[in-house]
Structures are given as structure tokens and as C-alpha cells.
Structure 1
Amino acid sequence: MLEDSAPVPHRRAVSPFDAPRTRAGFWLVAAVYTLVMMGSTVPIPLYVLWAPKMGFGPFTTTLVFAVYALGTVVALVLCSPMSDRAGRRPLLTAGLLVTALSTMLFLVAGDVGTLLVARFLSGLGTGVYTATATATLNELSGPLFWVFLATLAPALVAVAITPETVAERHTPRLVVRRPTVPDQRAARSEFLRAATAVFAAFAVCGLFSSLVPAFLREELHVHNYAAVSAEVALLFFTAVATQLTAPQAWLDSRWPTPAFLVAGVAVFETGLWAGSLPVFVVGTVLAGIGIGLAFRRGIGVTQRLADPRRRADLLASYFLAAYTGTIIPTLALGLLDQATNEKAASLLLAVAVVVITVAAVRTAPRQHPTHATR
């Protein structure tokens, strides 16, 4: 069975009486979503510590990250339609529990096998939250690991008191879903171009989440772990800040996103090959702006094209494209690193990102079709 044929429930209209609780729920879910996404980045700077302890090299590092992305994809394929039918809160609660289990495994990880399982579960929890929390927020808008683990307890309370946005709920069924795309040709083309752009953007995220810590240490001679973490975090911080502050004119135009992303990739590759940390940092900021623009613009396109009754479904397809962009290029990067060297592998990835980004924007539609998905 490939698709769940159960009737899709309508959303409960939020009454004026619910308004204060709805506003509180919006910010609670936003806070929990931020917490889960932040937790998914906690292991990134620790790979350089785990590698000598557990005896693995660059390819295993990319494999660990790819396993995280695989967990995200599995959640998007199997779990995303559930929240449209069974309700948002059960899925948000399940995502937190899986994230907590992942964090406990990180605490006791002493070998690559445990690390892979922990990272897969981390991706699974992230995938559940990625589509479900995004849909929830849209509807409501109308040492280290111990700290993170402790914050998940109040997060469960926050989800428990958040208003449910699915009125008619059905028993959830685990089914393998085909990616949902809009029915109308123009809408489908626009969605696929947005998905292609975010694929390229997340390929850059995959590079920073897997091999950039090693680049900084071995090619740019940055041996301070806090500085390595700060450089990786700079990309994601810039992307988030861009999503919050980007001018509407940049989002309406199809050129700022590829311009920043391509410029960022070109500049940080130049910094890597020239051995210049300042140039690499400038490229990181430019790439972060491009990633933020690609992600926010793509979310806007997806929300506009989605059938309101299947919003999480289309969002899952969008995020599926995004996280596929971290699996395939990141694994390819690890294999290329084994065959050549880190700089050559990153250059090939950079060229691929530029080609995909330019291809996605050259034929971008100028119209804004209405939603209709299948």
C-alpha cells in the first residue's frame, strides 16, 4: 500500500476564545522546534573528538551525517501524513521522545555503531518535527548533552498544552507515501524549482556539517574547538537571521537567492584553496544568506501551493528534497575525499551546487499559480 486513502480531516477553526492560548501555542511550538533543530547540530563540532577516540576518518564522518539525513527522510516518508490525520500533538510528542533517546545514546556512545544509531534517531526526530511543526506554526499563526536532554522535559509539557489544530482525527497508519506534488503543471514546475534550489542549499549545509570542521583544522590550521564550532554555527546563524530579516523584495525576486549562494560557495572555496580564514568566513556569511533565502522562499512557495487539508504532505515533499540534498552530495563528498583530497572534493561539490542553482533559476516561472496537490 503506497498511500493512505482515509479521508483528510478539516482543520478546526480557531475561535476568538482560543486566541490567547493559540498565540501561546505558536510561540511554544516555535521554541520547541528551535530546540530540536539546535539539538541536531550539537554533535557536529564533536566529530573531531570522536574520530581519534573511535578510530574513523573523513568518510565515516560523512556517513554519520548521511545517516542523520536518512533518518530525516525516513520520518518524512513514513510519518509526515500522520499529523494530517491523527493530529499534530501526538507526532510532536513522538518526535521529542525519539530525540531524547538519541541524546541518551550520544551520552554513552563509545563506538561507531552506537554513534550511527544515535545520529539516525536524531534525524528521525528532526524529520518528524520538520514537517509537523512547520504545519502547526502555519495554522497557529493565524556536560553538553545533559543540558540538552534536560530541556526536553519542559518541551514535552509545552507540546502537551499546545492547542491541537486537526479537528477530525483518525487512527494513524504507517504507510509508505509517494512524494506529493501539485497537480497543475505551472504549480508543479514552481514547486520543483523551489525544491531544486533547497536541494542545492542543503548540499552546502551538508558540507559544513560533515567536513568543514576537518577543513578548518587541517587546511586553515584552526585548532581551537570553540572557533571551529563558531565557524560552523556562523553558516546556520546567518541562514536563520536571513529568514527573519530578509527584505520582501529579495524574496519576490528570483535572483538574490542564487546570487548569494553562488557567491558564497565561490568565496569560501577561494578561501579554502588560498588558505585564508577571513576569506572563508566571508564566503560562509554569503552562503548562509543564500541558504536562508532559498529556504524561506521555498517554504513560502510550498505553503502557497499546498492544499490546506494536506499542508504537512507537501511540506514533507519539500523537506524531502532538502534532506536528499544532504545525503547524496555528502556521501559523494566523502567518497571523493577518499579518492582525491578534501580540497578537490569540496571544489567538485561547489561546482555541482553552482550548476544546480543556476539551472533552477534560469527557468523559474514568473506567475503564482494556485494550490492543488496530489
Structure 2
Amino acid sequence: MSQTKKQITVIGAGVIGLTTAVHLQEKDEYQVTIVAEIWQSDHPTAHYTSHWAGGHHRTADGEDKRQRAMDERTYQVFRLMSEPGHAAEKCFIRTPQYEHYFEELGHPPGVENMPDFRYMEKSELLPGAVVGISFTAISFDAPLYLDYLQKCFLDAGGKLVHGSVQHIKQVVEGGSAVFEGRLPEPPVAVVVCAGLGARTLGGVEDKTVTPVRGQTVILHAPWVRFGATRRKIEDEMISYVIPRPGGNIVVGGTMSADDWCVCVLDVLWAMTRNRYPAPREKTKTAILAKALALWPEIAPPHARKDRVPTIADLYPIIVEEGVGLRPQRDDGIRIEAELVEANGVKAPVIFHYGHGSSGFESSWGSTYMAVDLMEEVMGTN
């Protein structure tokens, strides 16, 4: 049956590649193959950024109308997925979100459309905050959700292939077959969801894509049933707490632009764990100390009973440290098409990357746009 379907190859298996592939494969007219160096089911690495996402969805964030449209559409999908009885329900949790702003500008436009939105009372604000808002956010467990997407893709008949693509022409000419030791099988279209790899991938080489280094700490703290963020424009570190289903919380985090590196001690740490770049110990300490000062509730109840908790109380409940390089693009998310020729074989290539820190939040919205563009170029829409 797959021979009668149109062959599509997706490059990249992060949240954008998986979401795109799921949407295409479930259309039932396509046979989709993902070619990627790293999958979600592989050993965690900083080179697979999606694994390390927080994350939560706070839709309609900012002035960019296209971005807001993507976010809003994704929010509707996440809201449906988080409903009781949905197959993805266990990946999500709905909790109160509290955001404290330290500038007169306050919160970005559009956030007031979130469920249960209200302005916080002055007595609820962190010291120095100018304004605060509260609403109900949808939080998710990134690794669990990625597992769900990968399973959906495979259950629908999709195919995963390990492969290191040097140039998009390799895929245009031969599809995934060239990475499987088979005769070339040109696809009818290629979708590039390479994330940070778009910077070096031949045929793309988009130097406007740069890494924004994000480091977080995951704690097992099932008593924390809220999300909170301290937002201050000049701070490189944005303090936040994001709950996950299952009792873990993500404590963060950093937003370090064009930061690829680590110190020597961190390199030694990374070598023993097959990871580079690695979390920085000093940054971890700073993240935990700042979050604990803002929200002492993250410490175990026994540590707060008769005294002020310290950072030492958090170390026994550390589950994991994470660092990922978000693929930020100067002009925002790229959704464009180009006809590419390789040794007489032509195919439309759809570029779908550059999501920065909004990969999950805009994933479904940008996927719908990218697939619509692909079908328009192919003349099937």
C-alpha cells in the first residue's frame, strides 16, 4: 500500500520534525520517513534540544501576528490533548501560573486571553515587581510528549532512519534510501526541520540561526502544583518553576545568546557522560539559589517546617540537570519553499525551522502552515 502513497522525507526528529511528520503521515496520502542523527529514544544529549524544554504553553505572546497565530493554534491542540481521556493526557498538566514583571510595560499583549486570567494583588507580588498576572497554563513533560509523538508517527506507518545529511540534495536525489544502503528513491517533497543544524546543513547554511543556551534543573517536588516566572528584561537568567505531570518540576533558567561553550571542569564532566556542552555547576547553583529565594515552596515540606530552607535541601531531590541550544533565527521561524534539483531530479524543499524557545508552543501552528505551503507548491491543496 505504501508504494501507492507519495513519498515525503522530513529532515530532523525534534519536536518540529516529529510534529510535521505526524501531521503528514496521518493524512493517509503520504508515506513519510524521518531522517535524523538523533531521535528522542536515543541517549539524551544537548544536541537534541527538544528533550530539555520546560515547558508550558502561554499562548498569544507578543506583537508578531504570525507567531501569535501559530501559538494560538498550537494551544488549541494542546488543550484538546490535555483533556481527560485523550491518548496524550498523561503528557500534560493544567496548573495556576503566576508571572511577576519588573518593567512598566508589563505583560505581552494577548496573554489576557488565557483561561482564568487576572491581575494579581500587590500583596501577591514579588518584592520590586511592578505588575503580576495569573492564569491557568498547560504544562507538559517534554520527553514524555516527544515519546508520544514518535509513537503516533510509527503507529500511523511512518518510518525513522538514522542518517547524517550533509546536503539537502542527497535527500532530494535519493530520499531516505541512501542512508539505508538501498537504491535511491526520490521523494516528492522534502521538509527541512533541522533546528540549529540549519546553520551548517548544505543547501541551507542559514547563518542567522544561532544558539540560545538554556540550562535547567529538574527536581522531584510533587507538592508544587503551580508555575511561576520572574521576568526582568536586563536579566540573562529568567527564574521560573514549571510543574510536570508525575511530580517533577523544571527550575530555570538561562537565555544565553550565541553561547556554545563550557569551562574545562564541565568538559571533563561531559566526557564522562558522553555529553557536550554540559550544564555548568556555577549556573546550576545560581538557578537553584535564586528560585529558592523567590519560591521557598520548592523545598521539601520538612525543610520548611521549623527553619528557612537552603540550597542543600534541594540537592537530594535533583532528578536531572539539562542544557540545550535553542535554535534562534534573526527573522523568526522560516516557512518557505524552494525547488531544488539534484542530478536531474527535482523536488520542492520546505524549510521549517528557527523556532528558538517557542518550538513546542508554536509546533502545531507552524506545522499546519508548512504543510499547507508544501501542498500548495505541489498543486494538491
**Scaled by the length of structure 1, what TM-score is found?**
0.22
TM-score normalised according to structure 2 size = 0.22
* More relative contact order, 1 or 2 (CA 8 Å, 6+ apart): 1
Select the structure of larger CA radius of gyration.
Answer: 2
1 or 2, which has the higher helix percentage? 1
Q: Of Structure 1 and Structure 2, which has the larger fraction of its residues in strand?
A: 2
